[in-house]
Amino acid sequence: MEILLVEDNPGDVRLVGELLTEAGAEEFDLTHVERLGEAVQRLREDHFDVVLLDLSLPDSNGLDTVVRLQAAAPHVPIVVLTGLDDDLVGLQAVRGGVEDFLIKGEWDANRLARSIRYAIGRRNAAQALARSETLLALADFASGTAHQLNNLFMVISGHLWLLLQNHGSAEIKRSLRIVLEATARGAEIVRRLQAFTRAGPLSEATRVDLNEVVQHTLELTRPRWQDEPSVRGVRIDAVLELGRIPPVLGDSFTLHEVVMNLVFNAVDALPDGGRLTIKTWASEHWVHCSVADTGVGMPEHVQRRAVEPCFTTKGPNATGLGLSIAHGILKRHRGDLVFESTEGRGTMVTMSLPLRSPGGERP
């Protein structure tokens, strides 16, 4: 458990270290800084499970210290440390969003450890509730906008068909067919978004060749990994390593969406070019597909939140839904999604699908 102690009093620092050692040295890993500015910097660079925060620091004092730390790290739980005459401030801090407060001089090892665990548990519960509310909001959004979006897709499809019928160039026709197929998939995504938020089991399953899914998806996404980077003078090499795999029982359309999202994420991680490798293989009870890149990689705290709805590191124009949708699809297939990433070296995301269907049937 990674703990960041923000405290400028050497005696209190020593006491916290001793109490955590008494409570369980192997469970707690303590990092200490003396100033709020240092704490903010460490939170940007490293992952911490909880912050122990003194409110009287050389560069910050009182509840403003809490506000500034929350702004810098809104997802990290905070336990405020107060003096004997500051218990009212501690209560005000809790009302302001911190998880707990401790009065210096009135704690022991068990109470400190219990407060840390409580703070982490409370924040995890709050985040789980927020995710549930996000999914409900997404369901409402999908229900309210599906009709309008499908009307737009129908207009686009109609004009694409006209262009396809009246244009003689084989290369342009190929591009139009890809756009038309993407439009059809967009309309289907709108219809299925609501089903994703409910995260129910698969209603129908058919035999799916995952190698065919991968090959088709790679061709469909060629503009993203080949054409667009080429315009910027960047080269991305796509490598297929397809093993001999049995079919799985599932939904071909949504499995296409999973692979497509993984490819798009890999391309986004290669702003200066590199290699994109898609590999398939089978184990005793599973079929696997990995999408790997040689890009920027993800820090550990980003990997932990990668499948949260609406979580993104790509800026305000990104939705943060791609990996959460992929994760939801695989859960309905009774499958799994695993991340392996090293900053500066790249990321590999592996999807695994069972050889038995959700009902126990083999394909």
| Domains delineated in the chain | 2-128 (3.40.50.2300), 203-363 (3.30.565.10)
What amino acid is encoded at 251 in this protein? D
pLDDT in tens, 245-288: 999 999 888 898 889 889 988 998 999 999 999 999 999 889 99
User: Which of these ranges, 126-140, 215-229, 270-284, has the smallest mean pLDDT?
Assistant: 126-140
Work out the average pLDDT over 182-193: 72
Residues 6+ apart with CB under 8 A from 291: 259, 262, 263, 265, 266, 276, 277, 278, 348, 349
- Asked if residue 361 lies in contact with residue 350, where contact means CB atoms within 8 angstroms, the answer is no
pLDDT of residue 206: 85
User: Does the pLDDT at position 180 exceed 70?
Assistant: yes
* Cα atoms in the Cβ-side hemisphere of radius 13 Å centred on 54: 22
Take residue 44 and report the two structure tokens written for it. 């940007």
343 has pLDDT over 80:
yes
Q: Report CA torsion sign: 310, 312, 316, 319.
A: negative
Q: What angle, 0 to 180 degrees and rounded to 10, lies between the N-to-C axes of helices 170-198 and 252-268?
A: 100
Give 24 or 317, the one with higher predicted confidence. 24
Q: What is the pLDDT of residue 350?
A: 95
The pLDDT of residue 309 is above 80:
no
Name the pTM for this structure: 0.52
> Starting from the edge strand earliest in sequence, which strands make up the sheet with 236-242, in order?
236-242, 274-282, 286-293, 346-354, 336-342
Three-state DSSP at 151 gives helix
Distances, alpha carbon 220 to alpha carbons 33, 176, 260, in Å = 50, 12, 9
**What is the C-alpha to C-alpha distance for residues 363 and 209, in angstroms, rounded to an integer?**
10
pLDDT band at 108 (very low <50, low <70, confident <90, very high): confident
Within 13 Å of residue 123, how many CA atoms lie on the same side as its CB?
21
CA-CA distance, 257 to 251, in Å (whole number)?
A: 10
